[in-house]
Amino acid sequence: MVNLGLFSGLKSMKSVNVSFRLPYFTHWGQSILVCGSEPILGSWNVKKGLLLSPSHEGDVLVWSGSVAVPSGFGCEYSYYVVDGDKNVLRCEMGRKRKLLLADGIQDGEVVEFHDLWQIGSDDLPFRSAFKNVIFNRSWTLNVETPLGVIQNKLDEEAETVLVQFRICCPNIEEAASVYVIGSHINLGKWKVQDGLKLSYAGDSIWQGDCVLRKVDLPIKYPSCKYGKAGNFSLETGPNRELTVGSSKNQPRYIFLSDGMFRELPWRAAGVAIPMFSVRSESDLGAGEFLDLKLLVDWAVDSGFHLVQLLPINDTSVHGMWWDSYPYSSLSVFALHPLYLRVQALSENIPDDIKQEILKAKQRLDGKDVDYEATMATKLSIAKKIFTREKDLILSSESFQKFLSENEDWLKPYAAFCFLRDFFETSDHSEWGRFSQFSKDKLEKLVAKDSLQYDVICFHYYIQFHLHLQLSEAAGYARKKGVVLKGDLPIGVDRNSVDTWVYPNLFRMNTATGAPPDYFDKNGQNWGFPTYNWEEMSKDNYAWWQARLTQMANYFTAFRIDHILGFFRIWELPEHAMTGLVGKFRPSIPLSQEELEREGIWDFDRLSRPYIRQEMLEDKFGSYWTFIASTFLNEYQKQCYEFKEECNTEKKIAAKLKACAERSLLLESENKTRRGLFDLLQNIVLIRDPEDPRKFYPRFNLEDTSSFNDLDDHSKNVLKKLYYDYYFHRQENLWRQNALKTLPVLLNSSDMLACGEDLGLIPSCVHPVMQELGLIGLRIQRMPSEPGLEFGIPSQYSYMTVCAPSCHDCSTLRAWWEEDEERRQRFFKSVVGSDVLPPSQCVPEVAHFIIRQHVEAPSMWAIFPLQDLMALKEEYTTRPAAEETINDPTNPKHYWRYRVHVTLESLVKDSELKSTIKDLVRGSGRSHPVGENEVQVNEESVATTEKQQVATGKEKLLVVTQLNGVPQKEIPVVR
């Protein structure tokens, strides 16, 4: 009990004893703590919070504790799992709880708050994707009884208790009501009409008071929704139960927070397509933000609640087609000029510019995106319009508002673009006195009296119009009930605005990538610098928070690219070109002492490339002597090492290029490079460049001849340490790392978050994602379950997005045609047929696979547009391989795929839209209401079966709804 003397300055104060009660299982050494916004609960300092005590009530571990507070007290609070020193191990997700003592509670009374631990999924209905788009109502719920107000009066007799039932129900029909029913007479004796009708308290909370005698407790009860047409639906799952502890201070008031109304899982579908791939009759060489309005129309008509894009940030680093790579941002805030509609820049475009636009449309209307020509054309036309109207635009109220709200990133971006063009490079280390960013230099660069002010303003102008056009499209999507889903790249280009302005946030001597996986046996090297998380944490990850806030201006959902990077990142030295010889950061390395204890001592042998003459002869044949003399030194008989000038992958590539230019190579440059890289990567341990007494096992070390030439003892020790490093010792570290960083992302905006969790998945990843309410990704051809060649969509968990393909792999049609034997295995194991499958992915095959996915339990089924077009033979005339967006094995892939059909044509294609919508509706997934469609209430068309099952003195009311969704899972989104 807390001493009331903590309330300074208060005399003869009335007080109420507030008791907290939370059922929650903890591990040994862990405790539950309550911390809140007021000093009595720590003022959000967890160390000063109220520690609860555990007790067993049957099979349930219940944590409880009490504190004395003044009458009328109110605050926000949350629960935390802490260790013995009150260090936070886990905190609740979702919104802060609200404690508000109702008027009428007498001095000295005991008020008990019965709560349930909130996980991330409890907060999903309040993310903007649901709250502002899907569940957005044209009508408004009026608050009937504010939170904390008690409507019923407590009887004078001491053996009664007033229970205020509270339940969260964000998805409700107009004129519907929420009831609590049970066997007690005050709960209607299982009759809905006679049950306890709850009042709306705001913020999706429904509450109602019921006076019960303590001898009637415990009671069991469910909640139900009662519709305006007289139909009703009960919660899924077991009945809830209200019990009172056995302590001496029995409560007179119980505030019963029952979490979420449990309904069958809400499910929907969506379409995915990169912005640049869209084709319309209005676009100029590539898809444009305003094309999204047409895409949204098509999505609504096809039954889709979501449109997913790839990253849309400016990537103009090199000034050439390399910039087509959408994951290498020049700025994480600026939008890409590629997506600008120049026709919308002004209402007064002169005829000569209109003619130029028409000619450019014809010239750029190719099969694929011509990135360089499209960018040059759009910027050229935009400059001409800007020159004519700059004074009018720059002085407008809307532009000035945009500039003031975005100047923190907009001014550095415009200055960077000017310096990039002036110095003809984005490598800011070559900008002389401007290499080091400072605010003083920035202000001089963007000053109104500077010679380059017009150039600076042109970049402002482009970003302003991109903002207007994307905002218009985003608003249109929200109005139509369509979630616009963006993409958050894991990295930024090392020559970017962000690395120039915030160099301390990045480890510029490293590169980011991924270890060998489904996509590439040699791993991937994306070239981005890794993050300096320690430095980022000093201002509570302000850069990330600003980044997510900016995204939320346009998107109501987002995909976290390579979410594993928030647990650990595959870090490579800056001089690497491939992704094979890296290490995880953070990770616990193998220490020299640890290795020596196991009898490993020859560290030079294990950590330097293992090169023997017979290996050179075998790999290069008679060519080996040239290789040896050019790239290697013989440090002892028939043993070689790389020369200093070619002892990294980048040095080897440069040396080979010089040899090729002098026609010294007898074999192809690529083949020779691959052979030399194999030699360089022929190591067992990677020595830490910052601490030579620490080592990391090389990925797939058993595949190296360096490992295979070791003695058996060394092999056994290194194998054991390898599996420990990659699969065991890091789990707790990676979990803690993710729980520091990911909540910052999730709390920076109210967007719905999905995580791309493909690849080598540590065992800590999925539990953390579940705890945080993050939705994972399931691709059928890349199953996360060991031993499966093809994923089984019907067995996917609810908190997932399922898809037959994605932008990083071949499309459904191309995958089907790639491998005849695999196609036959799929047909036999998945389709269940021994018949020889068709060699082409005919519409019937596409229909089967898409139906598998829409019928999956996954919250979202999202389909690449190419896969949906495979449903109609008319759209399959283009070679399937041409529909692939990215080749992850090629770091310089040209991202240029364009859909070969215009959006206008797709919108007119009623047959395809009907086929897709039938699939979506037949699966029981939600779909937006079209203009000419009246949506039938799902509850009225569901098959409702009421059963009363005797359970002692209680009766259990069960509702069964047949919509193709397994009922074994508790739903998340209602």
The string of DSSP codes covering 929-944 is PPTT--PPPHHHHS--
Residue type, 231: N
Output the DSSP codes for 370-387: -HHHHHHHHHHHHHHHHH
CA distance 693 to 102: 63
Residue ranges, comma separated, of all CATH 2.60.40.10 domains in the chain are: 15-260
Task: Spell 918-933 as b/e; 16+ CB within 10 A means b.
Answer: ebbeebbbbbbebeee
Please report how many Cα atoms fall inside a 13 Å half-sphere around the Cα of residue 775, on the Cβ side.
27
Cα separations in angstroms, 476 against 78, 297, 557: 37, 9, 15
Residue ranges, comma separated, of all CATH 3.20.20.80 domains in the chain are: 270-508
Written as six digits, the tokens of 724 are: 């420990």
Give CATH for domain 270-508: 3.20.20.80
Which residue, among 770, 782, 828, has the nearest Cα to 808 in the 3D structure? 782
Q: What is the pLDDT of residue 662?
A: 84
CB 776: neighbour CB atoms within 10 A?
Answer: 24
Written as six digits, the tokens of 2 are: 């807390």
Q: What is the pLDDT of residue 158?
A: 65
Q: pTM value?
A: 0.90
Residue 199 DSSP code: E
Q: To the nearest 10°, the Cα dihedral for 371, 554, 399, 469?
A: 50
Listed in sequence order, the residues at least 6 apart from 293 whose beta carbon sits closer than 8 Å to its beta carbon are 472, 473, 476
Q: What is the pLDDT of residue 722?
A: 96
Which residue, among 498, 463, 492, 476, has the nearest Cα to 556 in the 3D structure? 476
CA distance 368 to 285: 8
Pair 897, 327: CB distance under 8 Å: no
Give CATH for domain 15-260: 2.60.40.10
Place of tokens 């020299």: 592
Q: What is the pLDDT of residue 140?
A: 79
Q: What is the pLDDT of residue 388?
A: 95
Listed in sequence order, the residues at least 6 apart from 50 whose beta carbon sits closer than 8 Å to its beta carbon are 2, 20, 33, 34, 35, 41, 42, 65, 67
Q: What is the pLDDT of residue 688?
A: 95
CA distance 679 to 618: 12
Mean pLDDT by 10 residues, the chain (974 residues): 43 78 93 96 96 92 94 93 92 89 82 92 92 85 83 75 90 86 87 89 90 81 66 82 73 90 91 98 97 98 98 98 96 98 96 97 97 98 96 95 97 98 97 96 96 97 98 97 97 97 96 84 90 95 97 98 95 94 95 96 95 94 91 94 95 92 82 94 95 96 95 96 94 94 92 92 93 95 90 96 96 96 94 91 97 98 98 96 92 95 98 98 91 44 32 27 30 44
